[in-house]
Amino acid sequence: MEVPQNKTPPQPKHPAKVVKTILLPAGHAVLYSKYVRTLAGLISDFMNDQITGRFSLGWQLQYLSREGKWDVKNLVKWQKVEPVSEPIGGIFRAMKTLREVDDEHTPRVFTEKWGTVIKDIVDISHDNPVYDPRNFGSGIKYHKLPTVSKVPPTDTDVANFIKLIDEIREDQKVRAATESGWSDEYVLNVADMMFKQRSKSSLREGPVASITVISWIASLSAILGKKNDSFVG
């Protein structure tokens, strides 16, 4: 349900009755955890499109936020960080987290500026983002891989990260993309180990696309830049 800027979406007392059927690849099996986010997203889209636009996360972030509840934890520090770094190791980029309420570094504007370069974003933060990922549009795919900030990733975390990046790169071969990205406010402690482990995997096959890291740690790009030798040979 498209809502004009600065307008409150209508909330009808008796919305029109709509039935929408979507087939998920689950057969007669139980809906396992990997399908939960997909199902939740489909339900959210249906409620937003068929009941009221007030269910839109983007609208809520812009017009219902109070006392910075949906904002980054250190706005001044966030504002001093460059939005996107230069490529790191020919595979990754560093990028600070986006803000739905920002005029520049927000999903819609980001897609306009980087949509021809960055085709995937992997969010490894534990909390919900302070932006609506659906506002990236169809040109950029958003992936959620929750981890705990400031805690070294487990072997399972690293394995899941490697698996996801491999899947993204295979998908990008089909989509003919040039770069992909992933995001986290506290990416530094997690990324170092994951980068090293990832370099031992199929990165040796040669890059299909670069991968962007969203972070508001000012020194991230410089620090990870020293790890470039992890990506070669």
Sheet containing 141-144: which strands, arranged edge to edge? Answer: 92-95, 210-214, 179-183, 118-123, 141-144
pTM, 2 dp:
0.53
Query: For domain 75-231, which CATH number applies: 3.40.190.290, 3.30.70.100, 3.40.50.170, 3.90.190.10?
Result: 3.90.190.10
pLDDT of amino acid 125:
76
pLDDT of amino acid 12:
80
| CA angle, residues 220, 225, 226, in degrees to nearest 5 | 110
Spans of all domains in the chain? 1-55, 75-231
Mean pLDDT by 10 residues, the chain (233 residues): 60 81 68 68 81 75 56 70 75 76 84 82 78 83 78 76 82 66 38 47 43 38 37 34
- For 132, phi then psi, to 5°, come to -95, 110
